[in-house]
Amino acid sequence: MKDWLLMQGYDAAVVNLDPGADFVPYEPDIDVRDMISIDEVMAQYSLGPNGAQVVAADLLVENMEEITKKLEELQDYYVIFDTPGQIELFSFRPGSAMMVQRLSSGKAMIAFLADGVLCQYPSGYISQKMLYASVMSRMFYPMLFVINKTDLMDEDSIQNAMDWEKDPEKLDDAFLEEKGNILKDYYSAITKSFRDLSLVSKLFMVSSRDMMGFEDIYAEMSMYFRGGEDVDTMYKDE
Ligand SMILES: Nc1nc2c(ncn2[C@@H]2O[C@H](COP(=O)(O)OP(=O)(O)OP(=O)(O)O)[C@@H](O)[C@H]2O)c(=O)[nH]1
Ligand SMILES: [Mg+2]
């Protein structure tokens, strides 16, 4: 996403907010690993790697001042925050919603990244939608349901996901075929509620590997951040 924004001529930066990431496949402009070390947390609190991840997630809040200061150098940038992939370590921690508010000055969207390979199965699709709903209930920010790694999905799977999104009955049928009749009414009520409550208004299909699909995300961002006007046209006469 950052590379795509740069290619279009926008200023963009990425902040890694995952202190536990061993490796990130990009060069972070701000990196919380410079402030928090999992090894030090393990030593200081006598914890194993899992406990240290939880403590490190909570220490993020304590480093917010420093991150905010660095962000001041990125005025008028699109800033992308990469949060810990395990949602227990971010969405479910007490300080995270406040952190989103503070770091973005209230001007943020959340991209929920669903895995394209998992989305090929009705059960995978449903479970990721339920995770999306759980993040939404914690954050209360505009959210995008983004399916990444579409380069690993075949055309039928991509079409299926779009059909399931439009028509919960098709999702029900596919789920029954995959899992059988167990708790049919329960899951049917869940898929129907996805649609009735407009849980997701649009699917965003992307591939980071092939750099596909980012213009749709950008269009949605423009709509939200600038009321539909792109920066290119914003300052033109009239
Ligand atoms: N084929 C393909 N692989 C991808 C794509 N995006 C990321 N990957 C790869 O998938 C692997 C896992 O990356 P992610 O799914 O982003 O997960 P992560 O950020 O490593 O893990 P968490 O933050 O803990 O969820 C890495 O090897 C990435 O290079 C994509 O669009 N297509
Ligand atoms: Mg990650």
Nearest CA to ligand 1 atom 32: 149
Q: Which residues pair with 115 in a beta bridge?
A: 148
Residue 229 pLDDT:
61
Q: What is the DSSP string of 21-86?
A: -S--SS--SEEGGGT--HHHHHHHHT--HHHHHHHHHHHHHHTHHHHHHHHGGGTT-EEEEE--SS
* Pocket lining: 88 vs ligand 1, CB cutoff 6 Å: no
Residue 235 has pLDDT above 60, yes or no: no
Distance 149 CA to ligand 1 centre (A): 8
pLDDT digits (tens, 9 = 90+) for 8-62: 999 999 999 999 898 999 999 999 999 999 999 999 999 998 899 989 988 988 9
> Residue type at 20?
G
- As separate numbers, helices (DSSP H) first and strands (DSSP E) second, the chain gives 11, 6
Count CB-CB contacts under 10 A for residue 151.
12
Q: Which tokens belong to 132?
A: 């999306």
Per-residue CA distances from 30 to 14, 64, 163, 211 (Å): 7, 12, 39, 23
pTM of full prediction above 0.85: yes
Residue 202 has pLDDT above 70, yes or no: yes
The architecture that CATH gives domain 1-107 is 3-Layer(aba) Sandwich (3.40)
Residue 8 pLDDT:
96
Instruction: Tell me which of 4, 80, 148 to substitute to probe ligand 1's pocket, judged by most ligand atoms within 8 Å of the beta carbon.
Output: 148
Q: Which tokens belong to 12?
A: 């963009």
Residues whose CB falls within 8 Å of the CB of residue 217, separated by 6 or more in sequence, listed in order: 1, 111, 144, 146, 204, 206
Q: Compute the distance between CA of residue 179 and CA of residue 163 in angstroms, rounded to an integer.
A: 19
Task: Place domain 109-211 in its CATH homologous superfamily.
Answer: P-loop containing nucleotide triphosphate hydrolases (3.40.50.300)
Closest listed residue to residue 103, CA positions, set 135, 75, 64, 77:
64
- pLDDT, average across residues 93-118: 91
Closest listed residue to residue 145, CA positions, set 178, 194, 210:
194
Residues of the chain with CATH 3.40.50.300: 1-107, 109-211
